[in-house]
Every structure is written in structure tokens, then in C-alpha cells.
Amino acid sequence: MPRLKFLFKPQNELEKRGRKAAPLYGEPEKTCPNCHCTLTVKALEETYGVCSCGYHFRMGARERLAFIADEGSFYELFADIRSADPLSFPGYQEKLRKAEAVSGGNESVVTGTCTIKGEKCALFIMDSLFMMGSMGAATGEKITRLFEYAAGNDLPVVGFTVSGGARMQEGMLSLMQMAATSAAVRRHSNKGLLYLTVLTDPTTGGVTASFAMEGDIIIAEPGATVGFAGARVVEQTTRQPLPKGFQTAESMLEHGFIDAIVERKDEKEMIRLILSMHRREDSERI
Amino acid sequence: MSAYDIVRIARSGSRPTGADYVRSIFSPFIELHGDRRFSDDAAIFAGIGMLGKQPVTAIAIDKGHDTAERTKRHFGAPEPEGYRKALRLMKEAEKFRRPIVTFVDTSGAYCGIDAEERGQGSAIAENLWEMMDLDTPILSILIGEGGSGGALALAAADRVWMLENSVYSVISPEGCASILWKDAGKAAEAAEGLKLTAEDAARFGIVEEIISEDGLGGKAFYNRLGERIGRELEALMEDSGLLQRRYDRFRSFGRKYTEKR
């Protein structure tokens, strides 16, 4: 059957035919990958990077931090932990330096504490600008430490995920971070503390298969790609056309793997509300 | 021997499969089926068996020997239901404080539309989350391919051993080469760079022991391995600080292999 092109909206990375989802900042103007309208960065800043058609542009960790944490409330932790290139992997050092320059950070995650509309929490935000949020040993170490810190200080954890998965250049050491982070999440959970994850575009691979899916409450941004194996790999392996909306937040919701889809403009209030419902009287003092 | 030579040996169809190990080491053995939620994934061969006087929960990923069996077990790539079946049996083992031995041999978790829609990522995450707090000893042995999260989901253990010619990797060398260099033909180079051999894993502290393949698949081989497993389980059963040590085991890599700047 011929595809009715004018009715067809791209639903995932693969359907976009390999076009890269647009990051929010960098150039003065952006073209929306969904409706193809042109938007100025200034206009996008006012809508938190959301096009009038509803498309959510990717946000770098620093931009998201400014959007989500109350002004002046963020206290960064573990900022000095960096990858040591443990395998001496060919070309990795250069990739790291480039990622540092592009993202303005040391690693693919920013960790610390902050308040969100007055609610105190430990916060991690993964960074799509740093090697597409891939998880190396330093990424895992920072997230693990954040959960340990939060467990020690009776704090809930709010985490924004974006990741292409475990980082190839650190081989099995990046793989081990899936277990290390899971262990720290579990210990934090065993103390009766809340962990809220916000899945953003794209959350895939080893991050999906560990701490991204371990939240007590899991919410996602509209249209975010969420899955384990890459869509292209699934299509090539199965030689079947992918169903519409495959590996989107909407499909994850339908299949029962996430709690809710929340638009970016409502995110802060939703997080505040959830945190307030899990406030612990004995943690008021902190 | 190059890293890629070892990858080829690890993948070889002539090696014993997971079920061979279980049937040869534990006697008698009762196979148990199903995840009690949706289905029974034949890629996971599991049950309860005796190792001497010790009941053990044994869980293996099995690739199958002939075409019919390989199709049935979909080449040892577990579906989400396989991981949930394994987890169910691990929780059962915890209840009876029965030690767990897993035999891992997979190119990775099953890659398919249904597997994704039934929560492959979520299933692996849940296994890791539960295994890190499972109050009974877990020993994992990588007998062939240790393919990424799909392997780790059965290897978040107190002890991890590798067969001499097994590999453990975050991605297949072919996948790595095609992503990094747009050329799957550079797989041998990628295999070298990924440091995926048993020797590499031992050097990183990711595995405690490398198992010699002398007489692989023969009676003496299984007897030797069975005895070694028995001794290890006995020691682990007496360890009162098991969960803390398991936590520290996986916690240590991030500390050791990062820098502070």
C-alpha cells in the first residue's frame, strides 16, 4: 500500500530517516524536525524549547538545569570526576575533549542538590551534548555517588535521563556501571526514599536497562524515544517494518512501562507536586 | 591469539551450551519453567539441582545445538520473559537460602519488536535492581559470549568467572566497528580496543577466576568445575557480609577507573 505521505508524521528516530533530532541551542535559528517551521532560539527559549506543534527539542544539561532548578539553588557535587580512558581506546581522548568543549561539562551527567519550586532534592541531569549521554565509568560513578549522598542525607532523587547507552570506549567497565548504579538506587530505595525519573529524548541501551527504569515514578517527555535496542538494529535484525510510534514515550505508556507523559511546560509543577507528596517530616531540617 | 580469534572461539557452535553445563554438573536436576506472567522463554534453561549434598538453583542461557533447538531457544538471546523467569527462580532461591549458579552465554538480549514492547530494558533493570539485594550467594560463569546488558542481567553476582576463551563486552566488535568507523569489517580492530577477553576482565577485577578449557565438555572437565563451584558456594554460604561485599564489588570499578581533576 502506498504511504500517504501528507498524513505521515515521524514518530521515532528511524522514521525521521536518520535526520538528527535538533538540539536546542547553538545556531540563531532552528527548523522543527516535526512541522518544519523555522524558529528563532529566542522564541524557543520562551517556550522551554517546545515548538507550537508540540515537538520537544533536546536540551543540554546546563540549559535544563537553569530551567528546572530554582534560581541559585543548585549546588553541584562530584564535578571533578572524569573519565580516565581506562582502555586507552583509539580516538577516545579526542572525543572526550570535543565533548567537553561542546557541552561545557566534564561528563555526560551533572549531579548535585537543588530545590524545585521550594522542594529540596538531589538532582542528576544527563547531557545529550556530551557523547549523546553515553554512560562511562565516570557517569556511573557520579550517579552512584549521588544516590549514596541522597541516601545519607534523606533526600529524594530526581533524575533526567538521555543516553545512547553504555559507552563503547570504556568497554566492560561501562557495562559494570549498570550494576553499580542499580545497587545504589536499590540502597536509596531501601531507606524509603523517593526516586523520580524523567525520560527525555532519547533514553536507550544500558541506561534504559538500569537506573532509568528503576524509578518509583517514571515520567517522560512527549515524543521521547525510549527503548533498549536501537530502532535501526531492530529493523535490520527482524526485517520487519516497525509499528508506528515504536519506542516512543507514548508506546511505553500504552505498554505499561511508564507512569505518565508530561509536557515540558508542566514538568516543574508536576515534579514539585510529586516531591511534596513524598516529603518526610524528619527531613524538613535539612 | 588475537582478541577477535577468541571472539570466534567464544561464538563457536561446537562449544558446550549452558544446558550441557547444568545437566553435567548438577545431579539430579529438575527443570522449572515459566515467568508466571506471560510465557516460558526457552533461551533460559533453569531449575534446581544437587551439587553433592547442596541444593542449588541453576540458571543457564542456552544457545541450542542443532537448528531445531537453536530456533526454539532463539540462539540464546533471552526475551524479557527469560529475564523474568530467571528472576522468579532467583527470588525462590533466596526464600530457601539456596545458592544460585548462572551460566552465561549470549550475544545479547533478544532484539525484536515484541521484546521491546514487553519491556526488555525494564526487565534487565529489574534483574539488576533485585540481584544487588538478593540475600543468597550468586556465582556467575561466562562460558562463551558475555553480550552486554543481556549477559550482565544474569551476572550481577558475588563471584564472576570466565572460561579461558569466553568474552565479555559492552557491544559486539562488529557493532562497535560499524558505529565508530562505519565499517563492520574493522571488527578485529574493535575487538582489540574493547579489551573483552577473560584476561582483560581479570586484570580489571571484573572476574575473579579464569577457568581452563582443558578437556572442555568432557567428564573430567565438568567434575573439576563442579568441585570448584562447590567449594566456592560453601565459602560464600558462610559469608555474613555477602550483600555489602557484592555492593562494594560493583561499586569499585567507578572509583578505580576514573580520575579526579
Question: Has residue A106 been placed in a domain?
Answer: yes
- In this structure, what DSSP letter does residue A211 have? G
Q: Which of residues 157-176 of A touch B (CB under 8 A)?
A: 166-176
Residues A225 and A264 in one domain: yes
Low-confidence ranges of chain B (pLDDT < 50): none
Residue A222, domain CATH = 3.90.226.10
Q: Given this model, what pLDDT does residue A9 score?
A: 42
Distance CA A264, CA A269 (A): 10
ipTM (interface pTM): 0.97
Strands (E), A117-156: 119-126
Å between A110 CA and nearest CA of chain B: 15
Answering whether pTM is above 0.90, one says yes
Position with higher pLDDT, A25 vs B108: B108
Cis peptide, bond prior to residue B28, ω within 30 of zero = yes
Distance CA B213, CA A270 (A): 56
Share of chain B above pLDDT 70, in %: 100
Residue A17 has pLDDT above 60, yes or no: no
Domain that holds residue A25: 20-57
A215, three cell numbers: 524509578
The whole-number average pLDDT for the span A174-192 is: 98
Long-range contacts of A232-236 (CB under 8 A, 24+ apart): A232/A13, A232/A14, A233/B111, A233/B175, A234/B111, A234/B112, A234/B113, A234/B116, A235/A14
Distance CA B233, CA A204 (A): 36
Residues A149 and A274 in one domain: yes
Torsion of Cα atoms, B54 then B60 then B62 then B65, to 10°: -20
Q: Which of A38, A57, A76 is the last residue of a domain?
A: A57
A274, three cell numbers: 510529586
Residues A151 and A64 in one domain: yes
Domain boundaries, chain B: 16-256
Phi, psi angle pair for B221, to nearest 5°: -60, -50
pLDDT category at A14 given cuts 50, 70, 90 is very low
Which CATH superfamily is B16-256 part of? 2-enoyl-CoA Hydratase; Chain A, domain 1 (3.90.226.10)
Q: Given this model, what pLDDT does residue A41 score?
A: 84
Give chain A's domain count.
2
Question: Has residue A9 been placed in a domain?
Answer: no
Is A255–B112 a contact, with Cβ atoms under 8 angstroms apart?
Answer: no
Residues A176 and A268 in one domain: yes
pLDDT category at A286 given cuts 50, 70, 90 is very low
* Exposure of A199 in the CB half-sphere (CA atoms within 13 A): 37
Residues 6 or more apart whose Cβ sits within 8 Å of residue A87: A169, A170, A171, A173, B193, B194, B195
* B75 touching A (Cβ < 8 Å): no
- Residue A226 near residue A256, CB atoms below 8 Å: no
Is B253–A137 a contact, with Cβ atoms under 8 angstroms apart?
Answer: yes
Share of chain A above pLDDT 70, in %: 89
Is B179–A90 a contact, with Cβ atoms under 8 angstroms apart?
Answer: no
Question: Has residue A8 been placed in a domain?
Answer: no
Phi, psi angle pair for B69, to nearest 5°: -70, -40
Phi, psi angle pair for A40, to nearest 5°: -80, 150
Å between B243 CA and nearest CA of chain A: 10
Q: Given this model, what pLDDT does residue B148 score?
A: 96
pLDDT category at A237 given cuts 50, 70, 90 is confident
Question: Has residue A111 been placed in a domain?
Answer: yes
Q: Given this model, what pLDDT does residue B111 score?
A: 94
Question: Has residue A7 been placed in a domain?
Answer: no
Phi, psi angle pair for B218, to nearest 5°: -90, 170
